[in-house]
Amino acid sequence: MSKQRGPLLLLIICAVLAVSGGYASSIPKPAIQQASAFYGATALQMPLTIDYWLGGSGNWSDPAYWSGGVPGTDSDVVIDSGGTDDVSLYTSASITSLILGGTTGSSALEVDGGSLTIAGALTVNPTGTLDGVVTVGGNAFNSGTINGGMSVNGTLTNSAGIDADHALIVAFNVVNSGSISVFSGSLIASSIVNSGSIGLYQGGALEVSGDLYNSGAIQVASGSPNLYFLQVGGTLTNTMGA
């Protein structure tokens, strides 16, 4: 009997070690399964870190105006209380994404003396107004108002108004059905599909490394200094006025 118990005991120990991941554990197996199920479900259902502007006029850096405190690099920011929002940014800020404005009220963000870096997408809705220069790591969508300049590492889709008094640099495509006015700077893109209007003023320039398809209007206005140019590296297709 003693000769048989030794190998049997060894097999039992090996089985316990295999089940517990190589170490003997005092935690019952059902408890381990429940904990794994809980944390697995929590990870799957984990919401994005959305930080809402609570409304009114105030400083971006004031945590009292935000639902989750001052936004950080992991924050998906929404400025749209449905009322009047007037946000001033005087410092440097980096966030994941930004939705500015909605369908009611008014939501304005002024980047004044600071900088705003958005790792993902920028969306400016009809009641949104963005003033200043921003860097966008993803795509940018505008159906509101943008004044200033942007660097977009994606596609810019504009159906409303952009007044660029700084460079407007787009890594991929510009799809414009609204109005883009460039003052004393350049609109630079890989390709442009324009069914709206593009205006170059006070020395503005239009540089396209790929194709430019125009079914809208491209206007070059007089001004000082009178330094305008249109440079297209690919095919220029014009079916309307330019």
Residue 76 CB neighbour total at 10 angstroms: 19
What's the confidence (pLDDT) of residue 225? 52
User: What are the φ and ψ backbone dihedral angles of 9, each rounded to 5 degrees?
Assistant: -65, -40
Compute CA 41 distance to the chain's CA centroid, rounded to the nearest angstrom.
28
Are 149 and 183 in contact by the 8 Å Cβ rule? The answer is no
State the maximum Cα–Cα separation within the chain, in Å, rounded to a whole number: 107
Name the CA radius of gyration of the chain, rounded. 28
The tens place of each residue's pLDDT in the chain, 242 residues long, gives 444 445 444 444 444 344 444 444 443 433 334 333 333 433 344 456 899 999 999 999 999 999 999 999 999 999 999 999 999 999 999 999 999 999 999 999 999 988 999 999 999 999 999 999 999 999 999 999 999 999 999 999 999 999 998 899 999 999 999 999 998 788 999 999 999 999 988 777 899 999 999 999 998 775 545 556 788 999 999 997 55
What's the confidence (pLDDT) of residue 178? 98
Strand partners, 198: 180, 218
The Cα–Cα gap between 152 and 120 comes to: 10
The domain segmentation of the chain, as residue ranges, is: 2-44, 50-238
One-letter amino acid for residue 92 of the chain: S
- Containing H/E element for 219? strand 217-220
Residue 212 CB neighbour total at 10 angstroms: 24
**Model pTM score:** 0.79
Are 220 and 228 in contact by the 8 Å Cβ rule? The answer is yes
Q: What one-character DSSP code corresponds to residue 74?
A: T
Give me the DSSP letters along 221-238: ---SS---EEEESS-EEE
